[in-house]
Amino acid sequence: MKKIVIDKAGDYRQLKIKTFPDLTPDENEIVVETKAIGINYADIIVRWGLYESAKQMVGWPITPGFEFSGVVKAVGSKVTKFKIGDKVLGVSLFNSYATEVKVTEDYLYLLPHKMSFEEGAAFPAVFLTAYHALFQIVVVRPGMIALIHSAAGGVGSSLVQLCKIFGIHSIGVVGSSHKVDFVKELGCDFVIDKSKEVLWEKVKSFAPNGVDLAYDANGVETLKESYNHLAPCGKLFFYGAHSMFPKTGGKVNWAKLVKDYLRTPSFNPLNMSHLNRSLITFNLSFLFDKREIFSEAMENLLKWYDEGKLKVSAVKSYSFNDVASAHKELESGKSVGKIILIP
């Protein structure tokens, strides 16, 4: 088998393909021959040595990757849900950038008949993140208004679709004009192109009394104003800090990173209680042992996919050998939907 291994923090040159013995399952494990592998921005943070769960749980060297699709190659003696030859999609705590992945059956799911391997690898991480943020942390009600930054990205486009299913009005924010139609086609009620429009004026025009839910993975660039535009009882969800990191070159700008870290707003709980506003943060990689979170979410998500209520919004494929180019495009902020690797 082959794996993409990062031996130390750095740029694209640290993504190296290495050969290892084929995997053998323990009694409760399944080995999957991967057909497609999802790439997420978290993988880039891993490469830079800044992803906290990777540092705490693995260290160096590390094979990144949280999601994959493929065909079951081998099963352990106590596995009951899957058999050799099954087409599947799954999640793993790292190690998905490989031609073989080994997981327990709690983190593996049958690939829907209408779903391609490419779509299967692009589905789990972003929809699990969106589902957790929308349905598993807070109580939501139809008619609420959600502000979704990076609405053309993987998690953003998933949030737009889930909001539509539940009757939540969505304001999607994109960074360039070529993403506007894509987000509208997903069912977003109001799309703001911040490259041409004044972002917060537009938010105010659509939600004069504030938004109920604000989903922000930008960090310091928008975090304070996302909070300031919450309605009473509004919730700000922080799940990333993309604006602190470079879009070209593949290397961390440490001076900018420190500056942005120092500029990151803090929130006084006494003031928050007066305003009835909340800040919510999460990282699913630190919840990987909470099997019930994943099983509940995937059961509903795959059901909605089968019913035609969800779709894998856009997929662009790169070969396994061209992983550096895939990382480069995702870093650029120009991509739409998901980027995947084909072994």
Query: Phi/psi zone of residue 143: left (φ > 0), alpha (ψ -120 to 50 degrees), beta?
Result: left
What is the third-level CATH fold of 2-125+305-342?
Quinone Oxidoreductase; Chain A, domain 1 (3.90.180)
For 145-183, letters b (16+ CB in 10 Å) and e give bbbbbbbbbbbbbbbbbbbbeeebbbbbbbbeeebbebb
Q: What is the pLDDT of residues 195-229, one digit of tens each?
A: 999 999 999 999 999 999 999 999 999 999 999 99
Percent of the chain clearing pLDDT 90 (strictly above): 98
CATH 3.90.180.10 occupies which residues in the chain? 2-125+305-342
Residues 125 and 272: their CA atoms lie apart, in Å, by 31
CATH 3.40.50.720 occupies which residues in the chain? 138-281
Q: What is the pLDDT of residues 267-299, one digit of tens each?
A: 999 999 999 999 999 999 999 999 999 999 999
313 pLDDT higher than 90: no
Binning pLDDT at 50, 70 and 90, where does residue 21 land? very high
3-state secondary structure 307-339: CCCCCCCCEEEEEHHHHHHHHHHHHHCCCCCEE
Domain boundaries 138-281, corresponding CATH code: 3.40.50.720
Residues 63 and 93: their CA atoms lie apart, in Å, by 10
Q: What is the pLDDT of residues 157-192, one digit of tens each?
A: 999 999 999 999 999 999 999 999 999 999 999 999
Residues 194 and 179: their CA atoms lie apart, in Å, by 11
**Checking DSSP bridges between strand 211-216 and strand 230-238, what pairing results, if any?**
parallel
Mean of pLDDT values over 255-263: 94
Strand partners, 249: none
Place of tokens 């939600």: 207
CA distances from 208 to 150, 201, 202, 213 (A): 21, 10, 10, 14
The model carries a pTM of 0.95
Residue 164 has phi, psi (to 5 degrees) of -65, -40
Residues 47 and 333: their CA atoms lie apart, in Å, by 17
Identity of residue 242: H
255 pLDDT higher than 90: yes
Contact 49, 40 (CB under 8 A): no
Binning pLDDT at 50, 70 and 90, where does residue 13 land? very high
